[in-house]
Amino acid sequence: MKVYKKLFGFLRNKAITAEILSFDPAKDHCRIVHLFTGYEFPWDVIRALEIALMKSFCSPRISCLLHRTGEFRKHGQKRYDDTALLVAEFMQNGHDSGIGQSAITHMNKIHGLYKIENDDFLFVLSTFIFMPINWMQDYGWRKITETEKEALFYFFKAVGERMNIQNIPESLNEFAIWVRDYEQQQVVPVETNTEVGNATVNIVKGWMPSIAKPLVFPVIKCLLDDDMLSALNYGKPSLLLKKICKGIYAFTCFLS
């Protein structure tokens, strides 16, 4: 498997994008996702999946379960780290690699401790596809390609099958329609959405020096869409701050 380096240590290597575009997203989705997350958008994917986490809290059935277990409230950093590590292992190494299979098996073992509706699994699965797509459209150093969008779909469809998730839509467009219907029926603002969201905000605050902590919540709100803000019972950020944050994030993504 070819390994790439940035030209002169900092210039993007156009050969990576060319290799991605040469593949069939249905057959070669593991290689595409590896290149996408490891080379083209490593910083962006992490940020997008952090927003995906917040997106999942917009469903009361999910937030109620997480609130009841107290995982994010009592062991937030560990819960975040465990999830990030497992997802990184199968995205970087492929869902059928030894490492990827072990990560999915471990994830299934954790989920097996709780009663989780199939549709809620599907909703969370969808966030791993659509949040990176949306993030790259808004902040990426280049626009995400149709090949990459389709590869993300096929990759996480395969992951979902290995998680024994049922009734996964057969195409990216069908999944988008399914998500729209789920959100219309299930996503409403309730207190547990807010409490689990706030616990995650506190995780991020823990990464920051004291002087920056007051900025964490306003900045996170700038990265959430209006529907998420409503479901989490968060007020809208100022338009000026939103523009500033978008510019900073887009610049940081360009440099990453």
Find the range with the poorest average confidence among 148-152, 161-165, 170-174, 199-203. 199-203
Task: Quote the pLDDT of residue 153.
Answer: 98
Asked if pLDDT for residue 178 goes beyond 60, the answer is: yes
**Mean pLDDT along residues 185-194:** 96
Residue 15 lies in a domain: no
pLDDT tens per residue across span 72-112? 677 667 777 778 888 889 899 999 999 989 999 998 998 88
Q: Is there a domain that residue 129 lies in?
A: yes
Mean pLDDT of the chain: 90
Is 2 inside a domain boundary? no
> Does residue 139 belong to any structural domain of this protein?
no
Domain that holds residue 187: 23-133+146-255
Q: Does residue 256 or residue 25 have the better pLDDT?
A: 25
Give residue 77's pLDDT.
Answer: 75
pLDDT band at 255 (very low <50, low <70, confident <90, very high): low
Mean pLDDT value of segment 152-179: 97
Tokens in use for 157? Answer: 């469809």
- On the question of pLDDT at 9 being above 60, the answer is no
Query: Does residue 4 fall inside a structural domain?
Result: no
Over range 122-144, report the average pLDDT: 94
Number of domains into which the chain is organized: 1
Q: How confident is the model at residue 249 (pLDDT cuts 50, 70, 90)?
A: confident
In a domain, 7, yes or no: no
Q: Residue 177 domain-assigned?
A: yes
Residue type, position 208, single letter? M
- 26: tokens are 């249905």
